[in-house]
Amino acid sequence: MILKIDSHFLKHAPYLLQIVKNFKSEGVLFGNGKRNTIKLFDLEDKTINIKSFKIPNLLNQLVYKYFRKSKARRSYEYATALLKKGIGTPQPIACFENFNLLGLQDSYYVSEHLVTELTFRELITIPDYPDHENILRHFTRFSFDLHEKGIEFLDHSPGNTLIKKVSENQYQFYLVDLNRMKFHSAMDFDQRMKNLSRLTPKKEMIATMSDEYAKFYLSKSYQEIFDKMWQETCRFREGFERKKRIKKSLKF
């Protein structure tokens, strides 16, 4: 078992290793665990979140051993990089990788468990959510800040941003599910708009986001931003629905 741990949590290394080894039989299950399994554990006065990634197929076991970092290691390193850039994410604690002769077997990402009021998804499903427009505009500024810092969050989708109210009309945002990310020296307009395409299919939300984004991205007008963001959103939705149809047809 290979361990990488944040310096602030080194004294807990034996305990962390123990609960990872006993992961299947201990801890409190969090979420539905369709692809990966997340469990909660106590660490002194904190609750920690351990994500167990499913064992990859034979080819990827080899790839993750010799050619590419595991999802667990990328999650840990990307979280550390985000915090250094002033972007919110739950505090990274450690990652574990278990290898055999074939390659990577089980792997785990450990972080602090963060309790928040909502995710971006609730803004889609509950249009009358209190302070809806203000939250959406704050989120758009958060996304603009990501882009200005060259951070392309490839899983920038509704469930992967946690939203926490910190004071009256003020919110903080935290990225989760971090293993797919790119860091650029700069992001161009097309990259920025494509990065927002997975968030919502609702045209009225796209309009609000475009209006807020245009306040900071001064090289493009509101109409240019809206047209491009809506175009990329429609393109993503078409591809998503096409994949669903293909999967459905393959089942029969």
Write out pLDDT tens, residues 194-224: 999 999 999 999 999 999 999 999 999 999 9
**What confidence tens digit (pLDDT) does each residue in 10-35 have?**
999 999 999 999 999 999 999 876 78
- Yes or no: say if 193 and 145 are a contact pair by the CB < 8 Å rule: no
Instruction: Write the single-letter amino acid at 188.
Output: D
pLDDT beyond 90 at 1: no
Asked whether the beta carbons of 74 and 97 are under 8 A apart, the reply is no
Residues with Cβ within 8 Å of residue 220, at least 6 apart in sequence: 189, 214, 228
Q: Provide the β-strand partners of residue 110.
A: 50, 94
Q: Name the average pLDDT for the chain.
A: 95
Is residue 244's pLDDT more than 80? no
Contact predicate 132/123, CB 8 Å: yes
Q: How far apart are CA 107 and CA 53, in angstroms?
A: 6
Residue 174's nearest CA partner among 117, 217, 126 is: 117
CB 120 within 8 A of CB 199: yes
Query: How sure is the predictor about 252, in pLDDT bands with cuts at 50, 70 and 90?
Result: low
Residue 131 has pLDDT above 70, yes or no: yes
Mean pLDDT, rounded, for 143-162:
97
The identity of residue 2, as a single letter, is I
pLDDT band at 97 (very low <50, low <70, confident <90, very high): very high
Q: Which residue has the tokens 């351990």?
A: 50
Kindly state the tokens that stand for 138. 């704050």
Strand partners, 151: 183
Upper half-sphere CA count for residue 88 (Cβ side, 13 Å): 15
Looking at per-residue pLDDT, the higher value among 244 and 233 belongs to 233
Two tokens at 11?
């004294």
pLDDT tens-place string over residues 102-111: 999 999 999 9
C-alpha 117 chain-centroid distance: 17
pTM of the full predicted structure? 0.92
The whole-number average pLDDT for the span 108-128 is 96
Q: Which SS3 state, helix, strand or coil, does residue 248 take? A: helix
* Dihedral pair phi/psi, residue 213, rounded to 5°: -60, -35
Those residues whose C-beta lies under 8 Å from the C-beta of residue 81, and which sit 6 or more positions away, are: 183
Span 58-77, mean pLDDT?
A: 95
R_g over Cα of the chain: 20
Can you name the residues that pair with 71 across neighbouring β-strands? Answer: none
Q: In the predicted model, what is the mean pLDDT of residues 63-67? A: 94
